[in-house]
Amino acid sequence: METSEKLEAYFEKEDPFKEGISFLRALAAKTEAVEAFKWGSPVYTIDGKNIFWIARFKNHFGLGFFNGMFLKDPKNVLVIAQEGKTQAMRHWKFTSAKNIDPTTVLAYMNEAIANQKKGLQLMPQKKKEVVLTLPKLLTEALERNPKTQEAFESLAPYKKRDYTEYISTAKQEKTKLARLEKILPMIDMGLGLNDKYRNC
């Protein structure tokens, strides 16, 4: 099914909020945003960037803004789309087409478009790199065996962490040495501590 067909099917579906979402669509058509269909809903974009969307739900319909956190929201109508899950998205809920003030809604839509053109968007934060502190026994063993050390460095971070915890959590020196003897050949082969279980 073509995008245009999906859009028409969405708006033409008999639904208690059919009039409301059609009204929002008519307002969106007055902006320069391009209508698309993504994630099962009409989405409006500028230069391929998502600006806002229209959606129906069980008890309401709404207008969502992908970077709504940057909107001034003078009417104080925007809510966080999904508490605890989304940061930038904001949602404007309606229960009837009669609740829609076209001038205000259009102003919010145009402000969202202007914000996108200004480059206002929430950038994903880079995860902080966790510095792994190796147990002394493991460090010394790796220093004595350059090939093993090279193999260890090439392991995925979670595999390095598994080996580090495996040695660190042993309470007695005897146990630590036994564990070290066990893992060195595994490291040489590029294996993780729990690989045999993951492949079951």
Task: Evaluate whether 138 touches 167 at the Cβ level (below 8 Å).
Answer: yes
- pLDDT, block means (10 residues), the chain with 200 residues: 90 94 97 94 95 94 94 94 74 94 97 92 61 86 92 90 91 92 92 66
H helix intervals, the chain = 3-12, 18-28, 102-118, 136-144, 146-153, 157-168, 173-188, 195-198
Neighbours of 188 (CB within 10 A): 14
CATH class of 3-118: alpha beta
Domain chopping of the chain, boundaries: 3-118, 136-198
pLDDT at 82: 67
Tell me the whole-structure pTM to 2 decimals: 0.60
pLDDT at 112: 96
